[in-house]
Amino acid sequence: MKRALLFFTAFFLLLPLAACDQRRALELPEVESLRAKLRAAVPEIDSVFVSFGNSGEVLWEFRYGENGQALSEEDALFLAGEVRALFMEEGFQGNLLAAVCRAGREEILAGRGEAPGLQVYIQDTWYPPAPGRYSYHFSAQFLSGGRYDGYATWKGYRYDVDPMRKEPIPPADIPAAGIGSK
């Protein structure tokens, strides 16, 4: 009886963990190379995290402001454009899908798997939040409405003091640049 009680207690305590999004670092050579290039190009960046989880999302998180430094909108759009350019490369898409989904690009395009979404956060960590010091959020999908988009269509917004007062960033303002445009 004690064993059964212990088993059910452990089961019910561990059950919520299965629903958690367990994140892992995305360790691909292209990601590591881009991370190093972006940190060199934008020295205001304090840290860069790239991860994926069982939620089906790839997360790029840039943090700045730990020492009071600011980031211009030009630099934020540059960072987003560089990540966008990488994700639009078909060769990288194949490596990404193999690492995250354990499926090939052609399998996903044929409807035999789910491709991860992409979230890019550029966050001001300076406290307290100040007007004019913006944080940014961008998102893209491999498939959009069931059709191949290849992470080309991006949505974005920025906010400063109040994250509920988001200012949209027009898609045309999000560059699809390559390294060296800065």
Beta strands in 27-150 (DSSP E): 45-53, 57-64, 117-124, 135-140, 143-144, 147-148
pTM reported for the whole predicted model: 0.83
| pLDDT confidence of residue 5 | 53
Q: Is 80:154 a contact under the CB 8 Å cutoff?
A: yes
**How long is the chain?**
182
Report how far residue 48's alpha carbon sits from residue 76's, in angstroms, rounded to the nearest whole number.
13
* Long-range CB pairs of 16-23, under 8 A, 24+ apart, other chains included: 21/53, 21/54, 21/55, 22/53, 22/54, 23/51, 23/52, 23/53, 23/59
| pLDDT confidence of residue 177 | 60
From 121, 132, 143, select the one nearest 70 (Cα to Cα).
132
Determine the 3-state secondary structure of 36 from DSSP: helix
| pLDDT confidence of residue 14 | 45
Beta strands in 40-105 (DSSP E): 45-53, 57-64
| pLDDT confidence of residue 2 | 62
Report how far residue 81's alpha carbon sits from residue 14's, in angstroms, rounded to the nearest whole number.
41
| pLDDT confidence of residue 182 | 57
Q: What is the mean pLDDT of each run of 10 residues along the chain (182 residues)?
A: 54 48 88 95 95 90 92 94 94 93 87 90 90 93 88 93 90 71 54
| pLDDT confidence of residue 171 | 87
Report how far residue 150's alpha carbon sits from residue 70's, in angstroms, rounded to the nearest whole number.
32
